[in-house]
Chain A
Amino acid sequence: MFSKEVINELVTVVGKENVISELEDLVTYSFDATAAMPRVKPDVVVTPLNTEHVVKIVEVAKKYEIPIYPRGSGTNLSGGTIPLEKGIVVSMVHMNKILEVDLDNLCAWVEPGVIIQDLNNEAMKHGLIYPPDPGTVATATMGGSVSECSGGLRGLKYGVTKHYIMGMELVLANGDVIKWGGKTVKNVTGYDLTALFTGAEGTLGIITRLLVKLIPAPEARKSLLAVFDDLDKAGNAISSIVRNKIIPATLEIMDKVTINTVENFTKAGLPIHAEAVLLIEVDGYKESVAREAPLVEKICQECGAIDIKVAETDEERDLIWFARRNALPSLGQVKPSTVLEDATVPRSKIPEIIKAIRRIADKYQLFIATYGHAGDGNLHPTIVIDPTDKDEIERMEHAVAEIFEAALGLGGTISGEHGIGIGKIKYLPLEFGEAGVDTLRRIKEALDPNYMLNPGKVVDRGE
């Protein structure tokens, strides 16, 4: 099916320097950041420089009926960029210009290959920020993070990617270019396409431009760490803070397994007898930070924290976040492969889901550490495995399925921020039901009847 002819045609439309077809290069596009996934080499990789290139690539793909896989930095955790059915990987990282920062309307036009941190660096020059900050801010692209609707550490107060998208330009599977949205705060014209395409995981169209909202950078911030000897007490503190009308920018939790693992590898002096620690940061105007930080401290005390550390200097703040930053690295030292899940529950259910995860870990004799964005109810139960141990992989798969069931049972979701991709496709009916999945499928087929865009992700072809 894949011929020299196709490559030649691609070379004609985007130029030789933007077509990659040597075997040794293709191998390096057979994977993304997702553990335990099949590796599939694409037939070719193209790196468009503009919307016109993207349109032409789509036309070639249409003509020869070849699948297309949009790709940003390939850091997603759901197998979203793996070229499952071979074909063309469209790497968007060369479309990386920040086109405009509009200080009057507080927004910016960017190309999809812009790295999130680069946009932030530009915005910071004007005292602004683009708040969505996944752990991969320094590597992930705007197009990729919008397509996953990425969250991050600041989700509780600032929301997630979808709250910052004001408009898009996009190439559809039929080659049409559509554009919507604009610099107005209000816009209710037509269906809400922004909601549809944010988080579409490259299955409905290829984003070629984005209009995003920027906000003033907070003036001050303060971090504190609270230690609990009981999970329920920590859970109560999480809810109490919010119940008292304080919305911290960040409210993170690390469970006992995580704390012990980090301590084992960093010797940072973490409280190894604790059942949980909360890492909290409030930000905003100096005055509001000065008011909120002591309140948070008081609430933690009232909820039974056995120790509380408040960072008075930048160094102390770094020390508090050091442990959180080292969670994944430390877990990586236990065993080489880390399966990072993102089951999410209402924040009031945090203690229950952590306990459920512990039961599941015991049942399947797995090493599972749980930490994550407690304020959002978004946890990252992380299973460390040896990728060469088949039995362990099988137990891991059972455990993942049970974690999802537990999250759904508590009124949560199977994915808070990493997306469905290939990894969670089989669990979709659990949350949506057959009719729900069918609705998703009909949306997909309305826009991409031949499953040309990122096939095998989010929804499959069905029976």
Chain B
Amino acid sequence: MSVYTSLDSVKDELLKCLKCGNCQAVCPIYKEMRHEVAVARGKIVLVETLLNGEIEMTDRLADKLSLCTTCMACNQICPNGIRFDKVILAARAEGVRKKGLHPIKKIAFKALKLQRLFDLGMKTGSKFQGLAMKRVKGQDYGARMRIDLGIGKEKVFPNLASKPFRSQFPSEVKVPNPKMKVAFFSGCMINYFYPDMGKSVVDVLTENDIEIAIPADQACCGIPASVNGDVDSAKEQAKRNLRAFEESGADALLIACSSCGSAWKHSFSELMEGDAYYKELADKWAAKTYDINEFLVNVVPFKRDGLGEVKRTVTYHDPCHLNRGQNINKEPREILKAIPGVQFIEMKEPGRCCGMAGSFSLVHPELSGKISDKKIADIATTSTNTVATACPACRLQLASGVINAGMNKDVLHTVQILAESYAKGKQ
């Protein structure tokens, strides 16, 4: 019994809730709405009430359950250590089981619309950008939605890659004397929006004499589907990924996206429960999966000679699913602090959610924007010229926020700054 197959699987978690309200202190959504339904204990009571039959799974209930960025801040502060992330996943999956995809049609529909738009964009190239989106004045960064899809017109999307990451690189990147062979899971956002991040991963790894497989057959990590309760799609995607990477023959799997990392480390095994073959594969790969920061600090320590000076003042935003989800927060800072010329300045509450949370920001654009505003204000007080993070989704949200606030800052993945330093070292 996993959270994906039965709501009963979280009964013990529910029982642990003291209703103390401590979760109010950290919940980004509660901070904006100040309604009990927004915070963990409110949703816990909703699920309890659903389980004892007093309320039913309705569209409205599914709507309330969509009020969570799955940032895991409540997990961390909860005196009883409740795994609220499991509760919300189980509740959303129950919604889909009870009502088909219907209860989340709003989310699915919007995500789909966007997906189609991007696919179209990929085909029609730059023409698309002019058609659907309005370029942000004076910036070559990206564009805002020209037509209101109900996902908010404020968010600035980066320009679509003229060529996706995985089309830019061969499926094997060789180096002269390889130390080891790793496989790189790019994830959708790096592939479509941020090939520059993917390229930096390749550059840094080759610089460290590591051979890279980039399986062409990789799919989406499935997190967008599973957090919205669409367990079937998530399972399909997990299986396809497991097959693709099993064929790569790599010693380790590297990831530069916090959600994709959580998927490989945690979700796949849970999703594959009951399927002996795939479960074994999932467990095996989970043990070999590393976030790129984690890998470069703890597994194969990155080369420190050859680092050139990078003149940047940098602050770092902790992606929720890397920090609380995978307990990785020291490693990115260690990388940044090792780069000559980088002056590191910590922002207030670097671990507070940026409000992106994938489809959450599409379904609740206003809330997402307000959560982002707080983050951007904290970033502003650091007076740095660069915001580092370790997730493409956070990067999108932060970059959009920075632009909307009229600030001039680079928003980059830690590994991009490291790649920049190696490049400077060669000059």
- Nearest-Cβ distance from residue A267 to partner chain B, whole angstroms: 15
Q: A24-B37, A73-B21, A73-B24 are in contact. Are A336 and B79 (CB under 8 A)?
A: no
Looking at the complex, which one of B54, B55, B80 makes contact with A332 (CB distance below 8 Å)? B80
Q: How many residues of B contact A (CB 8 A)?
A: 27
B 42-85 to A, binary, CB cutoff 8 A, 1 in contact else 0: 11011001000011001011001000000000000001110000
With contacts A23-B55, A138-B22 taken as known, whether A332 is within 8 angstroms of B36 at the C-beta atoms is no
Contact (Cβ within 8 A) B20 A33: yes
User: Are the CB atoms of A332 and B79 closer together than 8 Å?
Assistant: yes
A328–B24 touching, CB < 8 Å: no
A136 at the interface (CB under 8 A from B): yes
A139 to B45, CA, bound (A): 19
Q: Are A28 and B22 in contact (CB under 8 A)?
A: no
A391 at interface, CB cutoff 8 A? no
Determine the residue in chain A with the shortest Cβ distance to B78.
A329
Q: Give how many A residues have a beta carbon under 8 Å from the other chain's beta carbons.
A: 35
Chain B residues within 8 Å of A73, by CB: 21, 24
Segment with Cβ contacts to A, from B11-19, B154-162, B394-402 = B11-19
User: A25–B35 contact, CB under 8 A?
Assistant: yes
Q: A404 within 8 Å of B by Cβ?
A: no
In angstroms, Cα B45 to Cα A222, docked, is: 41
* Pairwise interchain contact B80-A333, C-beta atoms closer than 8 A: yes
The answer to the question of B311 belonging to the interface, with a C-beta cut-off of 8 Å to chain A, is no
Residue of A nearest to B54 (CB): A27
Complex Cα spacing A34 to B79, Å: 15
Q: Is B34 an interface residue (CB 8 A)?
A: yes
Contact with A136, one of B16, B21, B37 (Cβ below 8 angstroms): B21
A31 interface residue, CB < 8 Å from B? yes
Q: Please measure, in the bound complex, the distance between the C-alpha atom of A337 and the C-alpha atom of B21, giving whole angstroms.
A: 14
Asked whether any CB of chain A lies closer than 8 Å to the CB of B405, the reply is no
Whether B79 lies near A328 (C-beta < 8 A) is: yes
Q: In the complex, A387→B79 CA distance in Å? A: 18
Which A residues touch B24, using CB under 8 A? 73, 75, 139
Task: Tell me the bound Cα distance from A22 to B25 in angstroms.
Answer: 25
> Does A197 count as interface, using CB distance less than 8 angstroms?
no
Given A35-B18, A329-B79, A329-B81, A27 contacting B25 (CB threshold 8 A): no
In the bound complex, CA of A122 to CA of B61 (Å): 38
Q: How far is the CA of A47 from the CA of B37 in the complex (A)?
A: 14
Beyond A139-B21, A139-B22, A329-B81, whether A336 also contacts B16 by CB under 8 A is yes
Taking each of A23, A31, A139, A338, which has the highest tally of chain B beta carbons within 10 Å of its own beta carbon?
Answer: A139
Q: Does A29 contact B (CB under 8 A)?
A: yes
Task: Tell me the complex Cα distance, A74–B25, Å.
Answer: 13
Residues on A with beta carbons closer than 8 Å to the beta carbon of B22: 136, 138-139
CB–CB B49/A27 < 8 A: yes
Q: Is the CB of B45 within 8 A of A336?
A: no
- Residues of A with C-beta under 8 A to B34: 47, 91, 93-94, 96, 113
Cβ-defined contact, B25 with A33, below 8 A? no
Q: Is the CB of B46 within 8 A of A28?
A: yes
**Among the listed A28, A34, A333, which residue makes an inter-chain contact with B37, where contact means beta carbons less than 8 Å apart?**
A28
CA distance A22 to B62 in the complex (A): 13
Quick one: CB contact mask for A292-329 with B, threshold 8 Å, 1 for yes? 00000000000000000000000000000000000011
CA of A25 to CA of B36 in the docked complex: distance in angstroms?
8
How far does the Cβ of A424 sit from chain B's closest Cβ, in whole Å?
18
The reply to whether A336 and B15 form a contact with Cβ atoms under 8 Å apart is yes
Residues of A within 8 A of B61 (CB): 24
Contact pick for A32, options B15, B19, B25, B43, CB 8 Å: B19
In whole angstroms, how far apart are the Cα atoms of A321 and B79 in the complex?
A: 15
Nearest Cβ distance between residue A109 and chain B, in whole angstroms?
21
CB-CB < 8 A to A428: which residues of B? none
Complex contact B55–A28 (CB within 8 A): no
Min distance, Cβ B197 to any Cβ of chain A, angstroms: 36
B36 touching A74 by the CB < 8 A rule?
yes
Verify A33–B21 contact, CB threshold 8 A.
Answer: yes
Whether A27 contacts B20 by the Cβ 8 Å rule is no
Q: Are A33 and B18 in contact (CB-based, < 8 A)?
A: yes
B33 → chain A, closest Cβ, in Å?
10
Known: A25-B64, A33-B21. 8 other contacts (CB 8 A): A27-B54, A28-B42, A28-B43, A31-B19, A35-B18, A136-B20, A138-B22, A332-B79
10 example contacts (A-B, Cβ-Cβ < 8 A) are as follows A22-B60, A24-B61, A25-B35, A27-B46, A28-B35, A28-B42, A33-B19, A47-B35, A74-B21, A136-B22
